[in-house]
Amino acid sequence: MVSFSTFVRSDGAPIYTQIVQFIQRGIAAGTILSGDELPSRRVLSALLGVNPNTIQKAYRILEDEGLIQSHSGAKSCVSASPEQREKIREQLLCDDVRKLIQALRQSGVEKAEAAALVERLWDES
């Protein structure tokens, strides 16, 4: 069963987006494995204090991406192949890093300072 105990609702991003990313990153990290059962829409909605439709929206997106499978009546489960996992990991990482690089460049930061900043702040979180 996929655990949401480490899930933290953060900034202004939509909840369903945060849920999608939580699953995606869990798969990328290897924390969430293929075959793992997902909490039902009703259970997770009660757990996170949101509407079941919000969970459904997130699960729907993940299913469209081929990362989970849903069968009417039964619990949904993760179904990410190793190829998908590696692909999504690479994509997530590059997207995140590129976004930071663009921001730092606009702030006049150089390559060396950027890398140093990442290492310095890594342990403070």
Partner DNA sequence: AAAACTGTATCAGTTAAGTAATACGGTTTG
Partner DNA sequence: CAAACCGTATTACTTAACTGATACAGTTTT
Identity of the residue, 74 or 94, whose beta carbon is nearer to a second copy in the bound complex: 94
Identity of the residue, 53 or 91, whose beta carbon is nearer to DNA in the bound complex: 53
Binding of DNA by 21 (CB under 7 A): no
Query: 17 touches which of DNA, a second copy, none (CB within 5 to 8 A by kind)?
Result: DNA
Taking every pair of C-alpha atoms in the chain, what is the biggest distance, in angstroms? 55
Dig out the tokens for 69 from the structure.
């499978």
- State which amino acid sits at residue 117: L
Q: Which of 31, 34, 70, 84 binds DNA (CB under 7 A)?
A: 70
Binding of a second copy by 47 (CB under 8 A): no
List the one residue out of 79, 15, 6 whose CA is nearest residue 53.
Answer: 15
Binding of DNA by 52 (CB under 7 A): yes
Q: What is d(CA 112, CA 55) in angstroms, rounded to the nearest whole number?
A: 41
List the one residue out of 1, 18, 89 whose CA is nearest residue 54.
Answer: 18
Point out which residues bind DNA (CB under 7 A): 13-17, 38-43, 49-54, 56-57, 59-60, 63, 70-76
